[in-house]
Amino acid sequence: MGKHATIIVFDLDGTITRRDTYLPFLFGLLLRKPWIAYRLIGLPFAVAMHLVGMRDNTWLKKLFLKAFLKGMTEQQISAWVNSFADKVINTGLREGAVAELKKHLQTGSCVLLVSASLDLYVNRIGEKLGVHATLCTEVELDDSGCITGDLKTENCYGQEKISRLESWLKQHGGESVAIAYSDHHSDIPLLNFANIGVAVSPSKKLAEFIQVNQLKLVHW
């Protein structure tokens, strides 16, 4: 990346993709490894606790990660990771988002994908999209390469996206983020961090925020 390259940031779920990727990835894995079903018994109760505000997004993400993936190696899930990434690229993207992303790449901008979803598959999607870097939630592996069910990094969600971007900018000599795209109100800090924040087919809370703040609005 050139020191003065224009830096563009895209959220993934609901911004480039038409819907969330985390749960489809996990439940697609369940179809291929049905023996893990017994681990999922307590998840509906956990989801209810999150919905009423008793537990946060990070707690719930770790719980799902442990239930679905604890003890597995990346090699054991590699076939599904590849298949899932191909499916997202082939059938799960917003056409307008792809066109916008390609436009930025063609004009020489440095394009980053910043997502709260897991590195297990987000990195692969980023490679297929041709972005310059992917910042996402990283899964912890033990010494034998097995997924522990915990996170190697902080959950790349909300304000944590800013921390990750600031570190990346410092490391690569970047000065600021020119444009950031997101569909979700949890990314209001990200949209405010960029010189131009673009709300993409926004969630209800983000749409309300747009009304009193200077954000661009697009529908893809």
pLDDT tens-digit readout, 18-65: 999 999 999 999 999 999 999 999 999 999 999 999 899 899 999 999
193 within 8 A of 187, measured Cβ to Cβ:
no
User: What is the CATH number assigned to the segment(s) 7-218?
Assistant: 3.40.50.1000
pLDDT confidence of 191, banded at 50, 70, 90?
very high
Give the pLDDT mean for 146-175: 95
b vs e for 79-117, b when ≥16 Cβ sit within 10 Å of the residue's Cβ? ebbeebbeebbeebbbeebeebbeebbeeebbbbbbbbb
Min mean pLDDT across 2-6, 52-56, 78-82, 127-131 is at: 2-6
Structural domain boundaries in the chain: 7-218
Dihedral sign (CA 118, 119, 120, 121): positive
| Interval 138-155 mean pLDDT | 95
pLDDT in tens, 99-123: 999 999 999 999 999 999 999 999 9
Residues 6+ away with beta carbon under 8 Å from 46: 55, 60, 63
Q: What gap in Å lies between CA 109 and CA 111, rounded to an integer?
A: 6
